[in-house]
């Protein structure tokens, strides 16, 4: 596992590489994990998940099964599910991370749950290191979940970058 920490990453001052592009088409060499935030209701159909489903059926099917069987598994806020996608030689996974309560902004505020995103990222780090992978993501929790990147980015830096995981964040045009 020590070899996982020797990568060099073209990163900004915060240790995260930012690119314009599509997070479902991650750039670079080697194994890759595409991380994104899901809700805790089992709903899949708006936001970044639509782009994921256009490319691969596995993340949605796995997420729906995970939610449906939640009485017998770890599904809930802060949980993460790693789903292989594409051809085996691509070494590509999608990390379904449960980081939002519900799907609508209402009297209890926005759906994003920063502590759940942090917990999921912390759980994801050792799995990514074992795979010797890099993590690729949109600005997780900041779309329909209503979060702010100024709050999420330090969580990514602490949970992944500080552990030696290369991270690329994609801003879609």
């890759």: which residue's tokens? 32
Other CB atoms closer than 10 Å to residue 18's CB: what's the count? Answer: 13
């690119």: which residue's tokens? 19
Global pTM value: 0.90
98's tokens: 């449960």
Q: 60-84 pLDDT, tens per residue? A: 999 999 999 999 999 999 999 999 9
**Do 146 and 112 meet the contact criterion of CB atoms below 8 Å apart?**
yes
Element (H, E) at 97: strand 92-100
Q: 90-124 pLDDT, tens per residue? A: 899 999 999 999 887 776 788 999 999 999 999 99
Domain ranges in the chain?
28-171
| CATH architecture classification, 28-171 | 3-Layer(aba) Sandwich (3.40)
DSSP E strand boundaries for the chain: 17-20, 32-39, 80-85, 92-100, 134-137, 167-171
In this structure, are strands 167-171 and 17-20 parallel, antiparallel, or unpaired? Answer: parallel
């Amino acid at each position: 596992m020590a070899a996982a920490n020797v990568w060099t990453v073209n990163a900004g001052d915060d240790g995260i590489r930012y690119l314009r592009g599509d997070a479902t088409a991650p750039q670079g060499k080697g194994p890759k994990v595409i991380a994104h935030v899901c809700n805790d209701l089992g709903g899949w159909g708006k936001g970044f998940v639509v782009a994921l489903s256009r490319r691969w059926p596995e993340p949605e099917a796995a997420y729906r099964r995970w939610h449906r069987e939640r009485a017998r598994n770890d599904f809930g806020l802060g949980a993460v599910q790693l789903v292989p996608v594409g051809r085996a030689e691509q070494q590509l996974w999608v990390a379904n991370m449960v980081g939002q309560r519900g799907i609508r902004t209402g009297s209890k505020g926005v759906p994003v749950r920063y502590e759940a995103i942090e917990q999921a990222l912390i759980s994801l780090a050792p799995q990514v290191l074992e795979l010797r992978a890099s993590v690729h993501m949109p600005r997780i929790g900041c779309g329909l979940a209503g979060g702010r990147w100024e709050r999420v980015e330090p969580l990514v830096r602490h949970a992944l970058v500080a552990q030696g995981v290369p991270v690329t964040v994609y801003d879609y045009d």
